[in-house]
A and B are shown apart, each in its own frame.
Chain A
Amino acid sequence: MTDMRQLYQEVILDHNRKPRNWGAIPDANRHAEGHNPLCGDHIKLSMNVLDDKIDAIAFEGHGCAICKASASMMTGAVKGKTVQDAEIMVEEFRGMATGTFEPDSADNHLGKLKIFAGVKDLPSRVKCAILPWHTLHAALNSEASTSTEGEADPVSDHA
């Protein structure tokens, strides 16, 4: 990928500048923190899950544009979804970012999130895009924290 505009599209830059669902949910019943020690990306996610649905979700923290935009778009995409559907999206996003799942080849729930497909060509940046999704997975499974630097893959380990 020589043209960085393919990855750094206006949508991503806009979510980086004005992240949606920014902040913390008071009295949230699900929390997790995600940390990428390599680059210092740090995401705090809070959610309210009611009747097996993500009723409210918010995030805060600091990170690169890829990480922040991924988190911002993720919160929009999973709000109102069932826990099960959100977990399917975690799998699909992770597959797309690591190059094991081609989103144009099969039905999926990724929609606008396909904009992140380009990170699979940038191995050092895959973790930036995936961190919010790891954190979502951890929060849904009532784990307090996750990291992209573990020995094993935190998602498939617990899926």
Chain B
Amino acid sequence: MKIERVNNERTPIGKATIDKIRADFPILGLQVSGKPLVYLDNAASSQMPQPVIDRIVRYQTEEHSNIHRAVHYLSELATSEYEAARVKVQHFLNAKESREIIFTRGTTEAINLVMHGYGRSFIGKGDEIILSALEHHANIVPWQMLAQEKGAVLRVIPINDDGELLIDEFEALFNEKTRFLALSHVSNALGTISPVKKMTAFAHRRGVPVLLDGAQAAPHQLLDVQDLDCDFYAFSGHKMCGPTGIGVLYGKAQLLERMQPYQGGGDMILSVTFKKTVYNVIPAKFEAGTPPIMAAIGLGAAIDYLNGIGLGNIATYEHELLEYATGKISAMPGVRIIGTAANKAAVMSFEIDGVHPHDVGTILNGDGIAIRTGHHCAQPVMDRFNVPATARASFAFYNTKQEIDKLVDGIRRVQEMFS
């Protein structure tokens, strides 16, 4: 089975195609507060197109049973569809082998898996873990827990006023005690795309393995874990048109094989006696218990859907949306965009003078506009910019410039109300 990854020949997203794409997403037809929904909270969770919904319904209607268990028709069908989803993820990431793909509940569980399975075995007292100031709490707290347990130390790569990592400072953090680098590929709060390939190469020259948190990258650009050469890559299904409850940990096979299991239970064993358990091979070793089968198959369908549109087309179109929104909003007096990195994904955090982000969010909701307000599970980022919270609009390939115009009008109404 050859899966097409690059879709240069496909129609770009634009006037001719956007209506058809939007028609794939039933929820985009919703009215909120009596107005057509303008969904600009895609960095928190994306919406699901009809083909993915249909695939989930078909699985539950015609294919469901437990996997890797029985010899009957449904169990074999469910198993083969679940494993087919793993192969789709493998191609999506361009991983070398499908056994390097572990299904988890989400990015958070994937990172916790690495912390427990790798960190607890290979990181000890006085060892140092490097993180960045851009991390989501999911890529801070597990390492903090490990540091507390082991007496290890966290070192943090600082950022500049644009929200970009300071690469010189990053390099200066390495020493003979450095054991791990955990880094977000794309910042969820600011949209910064970090130069993770170069940083991974630098860490590898010092023998340090690298985990990339790809939750915000996976739905928005073509990925290639072999090219990035990262040791671990984590992402979530629900941010890329798939269901909640499913995520992925990619890990290099030789590392996964050396790691301890994260959870014990069924399916992760070869044999069990009360004296000794022999663990299964990867990926089963890390998938104890009945996995989210429906969600994994849904994720596979989401990958098919995204491939059908083309990740390259998605990246190009979302960049157009970002440029359009940045131009409009940076021209508004009294509005400040937070996060102005040169290389940015379609995420825009902003604040309005004299108005708390939660009031912005509530008032925009009155116009049917959904944005995220708060600290975005990235309190260190908020502290760096000296704000308690921001308003954040995040765009997907099914958004339009007209929707950005509505956002701009909404911001203007907020300013009028608070003037």
B contact residues around A7 at 8 Å (CB)? 362
A contact residues around B355 at 8 Å (CB)? 65
A contact residues around B375 at 8 Å (CB)? 40
CB distance from A66 to the nearest CB of B (A): 7
What sequence of 0s and 1s flags, for each residue 1-13 of chain A, a beta carbon within 8 Å of any chain B beta carbon? Answer: 1111101100001
Q: How far is the CA of A125 from the CA of B418 in the complex (A)?
A: 18
Q: Is the CB of B374 within 8 A of A38?
A: yes
Max count, chain B CB within 10 A of own CB: residue among A8, A13, A122: A8
A125-B366 CB under 8 A given contacts A8-B417, A63-B356: no
What's the interface size class on A, roughly? 20 to 34
Q: Is the CB of A66 within 8 A of B359?
A: yes
Q: How far is the CA of A63 from the CA of B356 in the complex (A)?
A: 7
B389 at the interface (CB under 8 A from A): yes
A62 at the interface (CB under 8 A from B): yes
A39-B362 CB under 8 A given contacts A4-B417, A13-B417, A64-B356: no
CB distance from B228 to the nearest CB of A (A): 35
CB distance from A83 to the nearest CB of B (A): 31
CB distance from B373 to the nearest CB of A (A): 7
A54 at the interface (CB under 8 A from B): no
A128 at the interface (CB under 8 A from B): yes
B264 at the interface (CB under 8 A from A): no
- Write the chain A residue with the least CB distance to B360: A64
Max count, chain B CB within 10 A of own CB: residue among A17, A39, A122, A125: A39
What sequence of 0s and 1s flags, for each residue 354-383 of chain B, a beta carbon within 8 Å of any chain A beta carbon? Answer: 111111001100100000011100000010
- Write the chain A residue with the least CB distance to B34: A2
Q: Is the CB of A40 within 8 A of B417?
A: no
Q: Is the CB of A2 within 8 A of B388?
A: no
CB distance from A10 to the nearest CB of B (A): 10
Q: How far is the CA of A39 from the CA of B361 in the complex (A)?
A: 11
What sequence of 0s and 1s flags, for each residue 81-123 of chain B, a beta carbon within 8 Å of any chain A beta carbon? Answer: 0000000000000000000000000000000000000000000
- Write the chain B residue with the least CB distance to A12: B359
Q: Is the interface of B mostly helix, strand, loop or mixed?
A: mixed
CB distance from A139 to the nearest CB of B (A): 22
A2-B366 CB under 8 A given contacts A38-B374, A63-B356: yes
Q: Identify B358's interface contact among A1, A17, A128, CB under 8 A.
A: A128
Q: Identify A40's interface contact among B34, B366, B389, CB under 8 A.
A: B389
Q: Is the CB of B366 within 8 A of A4?
A: yes
Q: How far is the CA of A158 from the CA of B89 in the complex (A)?
A: 52
Q: Is the CB of A8 within 8 A of B358?
A: no
- Write the chain B residue with the least CB distance to A42: B388
Q: How far is the CA of A13 from the CA of B382 in the complex (A)?
A: 25
CB distance from B13 to the nearest CB of A (A): 32
B contact residues around A40 at 8 Å (CB)? 374-375, 382, 388-389
Q: How far is the CA of A39 from the CA of B388 in the complex (A)?
A: 7
Q: Is the CB of A62 within 8 A of B417?
A: no
B33 at the interface (CB under 8 A from A): yes
Q: How far is the CA of A2 from the CA of B366 in the complex (A)?
A: 5
CB proximity to A under 8 Å, residues B225-278: none
Max count, chain A CB within 10 A of own CB: residue among B362, B363, B373, B389: B362
CB distance from A88 to the nearest CB of B (A): 29
A65-B389 CB under 8 A given contacts A39-B358, A125-B362: no
B contact residues around A125 at 8 Å (CB)? 358, 362
A contact residues around B358 at 8 Å (CB)? 39, 64, 66, 124-125, 128
Task: Give the interface of B toward A (CB within 8 A).
Answer: 33-35, 354-359, 362-363, 366, 373-375, 382, 388-389, 417-418
A-B interface, 8 closest residue pairs, ranked by CB to CB distance from nearest: A40-B388, A64-B356, A4-B366, A64-B358, A2-B33, A65-B359, A4-B363, A39-B358
Task: Give the interface of A toward B (CB within 8 A).
Answer: 1-5, 7-8, 13, 16-17, 38-40, 42, 62-66, 122, 124-125, 128
26 contacts between A and B (CB under 8 A): A1-B366, A2-B33, A4-B362, A4-B363, A4-B417, A13-B417, A13-B418, A39-B356, A39-B357, A39-B374, A40-B374, A40-B388, A42-B388, A64-B356, A64-B357, A64-B358, A65-B355, A65-B356, A65-B418, A66-B359, A122-B362, A124-B358, A124-B362, A125-B358, A125-B362, A128-B358
